[in-house]
Amino acid sequence: MDNKVIKLLLRALAWGILALVAGVVVRLVGGVIIDSPVTFVQQMLNGLQLGFMYAMIAVGYTLVYGVVKLINFAYGDIFMVGAFVSFFGITQYGFSFVPALLLATVACIFLAVIIDRVAYKPLREAPRIAALITALGMSIFLEYFTALKFVFSPDYIAFERPFELVSWEVGGIRFTNIQLIVAGVSILYFLGVQYIVGRTKIGKAMRASAFDKPTAQLMGINVNAVIGATFALTGALAGTAAMLYATAYPQIFTFMGLQPGLKAFVAAVIGGIGSIPGAFVGSLIMGFTEAMTVGFVPYGSTLKDGVAFILLIAMLLIRPTGIFGDPFEEIK
């Protein structure tokens, strides 16, 4: 047979297989949309809300990973502390929404910087695994320490919303003001972080430190201060995200940071760890997948954690660097 014919046949086969797979996927998704369009759109909105929330946490993970090459496992617990601090602000001092948000943000900035100073800074030159184990230890410590009775509480606490929940219905689809606030704040933060990392002097220093720490130091950059600033920035993200999360899902407990923290990290890996737009996109995918699993898969609400991690493992196998590359290179 002619070489050209074989070539053509092989190409046709390859694209045929791809078309088949795509067709099955489209049929499944399309079937869902045609069967219950209202539920689909509603779940998509829920997924977006979740995704925007994850995005703020994921950007924090990605920033720290980009600069210090460390998975900050304690990040989910900083988030949890933020939720509790805003809770105390609201119940004890009668704070309204914005002061409570600021209080949580400031508290988390301090906590993140302190954790960096106490736990991670002494291990800067140690093998990376030592810092990773320390981060794990820090995370467990924060969870159990804050669960003590005189610190926060071992119980589930109902979070008082600082403002009324308003919802509108358009064609059977329910919007809430919380969704709008979450999306707005999340996008604002995303743009803010992009601006800080991409356009300011400290951002330049962050990029330089991420790229090559010893050389950055030689160029007169105080790398430890830059790392401190990175942790402060992630603390701000965690505090704000925590307050919004608690407002959207009004129940707080000391292990609440575990699942969102892990999933946001997974989202960051899917998007490409170290990439800020990647963290954002990955989070939206994550939130979307989770909401769809809950909405359309049998026993979805119990399976959603598993699905999130199946997504992760699939991504790691196909493209370990995630959807986007290294951010500190891209944002010039």
Partner 1 sequence: MKSLHRIPTWVQALIFFLVVGVVVQMAFAQGWLSEYWQQILMAGTILAVSALGLNLKYGYGGLFAIGHAAFYGIGAYASALVTKDWTTQWSGSPVGGLAGLLGIEAGFIAAAVVISLLDIGHRRRRLRERLEELVSPFEASVLTTTLTILVAGVILVVVGGGVGWLVRRAVLAVGPSLFGVLPEAIAQQVVFLVALIAGAILAALVGFVVGLPLLNLTYDYLCIATLGFGIITYVFFNNADQLIPTMKGARGMVAIPRLTTWPWVLGVFAVAIIVMRNFIYSSTGRAILAVRDDLTAADTMGINSYQYKVLAYTVGCAYAGLAGGLYAHLYAFLHPSNFTWLKSIDPFVMVVFGGVGSMTGTTMGAYVFVTLLEGLRVLPAELIDWRYVIYPLILLFVMLFRPQGIMGTSELGFLKRPKAAAEEPEKVSASEKATSESTASGSEG
| Interface residue with partner 1, options 28, 126, 165, 219 (CB under 8 A) | 126
| Interface residue with partner 1, options 1, 2, 92, 129 (CB under 8 A) | 129
Cα–Cα distance for residue pair 47/58, rounded to 1 Å: 15
CB 60 within 8 A of CB 234: yes
Which span sits near partner 1 by CB under 8 A: 82-90, 211-219, 228-236, 260-268? 260-268
Nearer to partner 1, 46 or 134 (CB): 134
Asked whether position 195 contacts partner 1 by CB under 8 A, the answer is: no
Using DSSP's 3-state secondary structure scheme, residue 224 falls into: helix
Nearer to partner 1, 203 or 271 (CB): 271
Nearer to partner 1, 134 or 275 (CB): 134
Asked whether position 154 contacts partner 1 by CB under 8 A, the answer is: yes
**36 φ, ψ to 5°?**
-145, 80
Using DSSP's 3-state secondary structure scheme, residue 127 falls into: coil
Strands 251-252 and 157-158: antiparallel
Asked whether position 144 contacts partner 1 by CB under 8 A, the answer is: yes
- Dihedral of the alpha carbons of 249, 251, 252, 253, in degrees to the nearest 10: -130
Asked whether position 25 contacts partner 1 by CB under 8 A, the answer is: no
Asked whether position 269 contacts partner 1 by CB under 8 A, the answer is: yes
> 242: closest CA among 233, 252, 232?
252
Asked whether position 11 contacts partner 1 by CB under 8 A, the answer is: yes
CB 175 within 8 A of CB 114: no
The C-alpha angle 134, 235, 204, rounded to 5 degrees, equals 95
- Number of residues in contact with partner 1 under rule CB under 8 A: 51
Q: Which residues here bind partner 1, judged by CB under 8 A?
A: 3, 6-7, 10-11, 13-15, 17-18, 69, 71, 119, 122-123, 126-130, 132-134, 136-141, 144-145, 147-149, 154, 262, 265-266, 269, 299, 302-303, 305-306, 309-310, 312-313, 316-317, 320
